Amino acid sequence: MRSLLIVLALLVAGCPPAPDPEEFTCALGFSSEDGFEPLGDAPRGELVLGFQGFLFVTTRLHTPAEITGEFEVLTSVEPVGGEVFGGVQARVTWSADASGWASDEVLVFFDDGNVAAFVGREATIALRARNDTDFCVATADVLLVDDDPCIHTDAEPICPEEDDDDSGDDDDSAR
């Protein structure tokens, strides 16, 4: 009832109501060195542990349509057998690539920084990008993995030191 009154007030004031946003098609993928990487046959979501203990998956959206302006992206994660949780990332923009338009990175934050609670679990990740004129929705079922042992910061990642000499040869006689 309240929304009807608002529409009527705008019509009386001479302002037509804003049109409904137009839906466009987008796909969910992941961020790689080359930009957007579409999901493959066995989609995996790499869990990233941030320096303050934040746990997230870095995603991107992609569309063949030309997209401009800033979007708000609502994120949702539903782990199999778990509770749904989500968040919002504001001011996501898009840029042209070889096959269309890719969004900035969208960080899908998890509500619990406990990596072990999610590794090996399947989850549905959903993103809804929207602004005043356009929107899209993309979902994907992924296997959550932690193949990257590093802790990521704004600068360089902090990684555990790797043993360069795995030969087991402790003979130092060649000194």
Query: What are the pLDDT digits (tens) for 97-150?
Result: 888 999 999 999 987 778 888 999 999 999 999 999 999 999 999 999 988 777
pTM: 0.74
Break the chain into its structural domains and give their ranges. Answer: 18-146
Q: How confident is the model at residue 30 (pLDDT cuts 50, 70, 90)?
A: confident
More confident of the two residues 43 and 31: 43
The answer on pLDDT for 66 being more than 90 is yes
Distance CA 131, CA 113 (A): 30
Beta carbons of 124 and 139 less than 8 angstroms apart: yes
Angle, alpha carbons 149-152-154 (nearest 5°): 165
- Report the pLDDT averaged over residues 65-72: 93
Using a pLDDT cut of 90, give the percent of the chain over it: 47
Q: What is the mean pLDDT of the chain?
A: 81
Whole-number pLDDT of residue 153 = 63
Beta carbons of 27 and 61 less than 8 angstroms apart: yes
Whole-number pLDDT of residue 14 = 58
Using a pLDDT cut of 70, give the percent of the chain over it: 78
Beta carbons of 29 and 38 less than 8 angstroms apart: yes
Signed CA dihedral, 164, 51, 78, 76: sign only: negative
Distance CA 164, CA 143 (A): 30
Across-strand partners of 124?
78, 141
Q: How confident is the model at residue 152 (pLDDT cuts 50, 70, 90)?
A: low
Class in CATH terms, 18-146: mainly beta
Count the residues in the chain. Answer: 175
Q: How confident is the model at residue 16 (pLDDT cuts 50, 70, 90)?
A: low
- Report the pLDDT averaged over residues 45-55: 83
